[in-house]
Structure 1
Amino acid sequence: MASPEEMGDDASEIPSPPKNTYKDPDGGRQRFLLELEFIQCLANPTYIHYLAQNRYFEDEAFIGYLKYLQYWQRPEYIKFIMYPHCLYFLELLQNPNFRTAMAHPANKELAHRQQFYYWKNYRNNRLKHILPRPLPEPVPPQPPVAPSTSLPPAPSATAALSPALSPMQYNNMLSKNDTRNMGATGIDRRKRKKGI
């Protein structure tokens, strides 16, 4: 066994816990909400462009913070995320080439357009893959048609010579006293040109 003097030396080597340890009054709820809000802001390409323009991506501490935030991809945290694109952008932000590219406005617009098209077509594209397609109805085989020796009737010569009436000619065929132009009281309701 060790002597009390030796134990005293070992006890002095073990650091004592700091007297002023910080205890979060709300149990980490505020930090959780702040990180959740920040990570969901990453779903917006305009915000990522803002961060790149203001040189946040050149700060090593900020890059370390982005690496730290990858814990949001775990199932126990992912259920709180409303905008899943933020996780994709968080993964892309781990690449230095993407971080520098997002400083350019054209790349911001490209990312924004691609995100829009994804949202626009996601449901239809997804339904194509998950809904079963109905089987085509089998077509019963048709009996072979025997060649007919009779010819279709030829149009008469008088029908071929008479021209078809134009819509204007139909209007002239109505009589001026036609009941379609008269109201219930028998008054002619057609508009007439007023004499000058």
Structure 2
Amino acid sequence: MASTDDADDKAKSPSSPKVVYKDPDDGRQRFLLELEFVQCLSNPTYIHYLAQNRYFEDEAFVGYLNYLQYWQRPEYLKFIMYPHCLYFLELLQNANFRNAMAHPGNKELAHRQQFYFWKNYRNNRLKHILPRPLPESAPDPPAPTAAPLRLPPAIPPTSGPSVAVPPMQFANAPGSVVAKNDTRNSGIDRRKRKKDG
């Protein structure tokens, strides 16, 4: 009986260590679940689903969205495959945006804007990446000179069946910008060679 009293005294004493919960997998599963959830936020349809099912009315869920902002730090950012999720995570901190995403029209608007961003991303990036000459060091453009217009030679009439004029007749004209070995016309040449051969 004395041994149980000693055990109770040790448990009540302030110097006894507290039991600390330790993840069996060192937090890997929690990390993966949070990563997956954060990346799901890049889909406006999923955000619309959350709004329709009133997840954004739950204060604990809104607090969880606030907690998830740690994904914007560089040590976690490198695991994100869909960077739009961070943009939407930032927008979800605003109650007006959360309420607006309950409406299908706003979901479609967000989806369209995301599509146009992806469609034009490369061209928009190149505008900012390619070097531009400084305004003061740019050379003056040469004065325009009128060059004579060269027309292709006329096709002589044939006595046989009528010959169709190729749609790109100006492409092979002398002085033309488009080269004769242009890849756009190479498929036609190959077909002709196959028929002739």
SS at match of 2:81: coil
Count of residues in Structure 1 that have an aligned counterpart in Structure 2? 137
Partner of 1:79: 78
Provide the C-alpha distance between the structure 2 equivalents of 1:75 and 1:55, rounded to a whole number of angstroms.
32
Cα deviations by residue, 1:102-155 (Å, 9 ceiling, x for unpaired): 00000000000000000000110110121124766752798xxxxxxxxxxxxx
Provide the C-alpha distance between the structure 2 equivalents of 1:111 and 1:92, rounded to a whole number of angstroms.
11
SS at match of 1:23: coil
TM-score by length of 2: 0.62
Compared CA separation, residues 125 and 60, structure 1 to 2 (3 A) = same
Provide the C-alpha distance between the structure 2 equivalents of 1:87 and 1:110, rounded to a whole number of angstroms.
18
Task: Give the letter aligned to residue 55 of structure 2.
Answer: Y
Which sections of structure 1, spanning at least 5 residues, go unmatched?
1-7, 143-169, 175-179, 182-196
Please say if 1:139 is aligned against 2:142.
yes
Partner of 1:64: 63
Rg comparison, structure with higher value: 1
**Stretch of structure 1 that moved more, 35-44 or 23-32:** 23-32
RMSD: 2.8
Please say if 1:33 is aligned against 2:32.
yes
Partner of 2:18: 17
TM-fit CA distance, 1:88: 0.6
Which sections of structure 2, spanning at least 5 residues, go unmatched?
1-8, 146-156, 162-197
SS at match of 2:38: helix
- Structure 1 consecutive aligned stretches of length 4 or more whose deviation exceeds 3 Å: 11-16, 133-138
Partner of 1:153: none
Give % identity: 79
TM-score by length of 1: 0.62
Partner of 2:49: 50
TM-fit CA distance, 1:22: 2.7
TM-fit CA distance, 1:14: 5.8
1:163-178 to structure 2, matched below 5 A, reads 174=159
Provide the C-alpha distance between the structure 1 equivalents of 2:37 and 2:64, rounded to a whole number of angstroms.
11
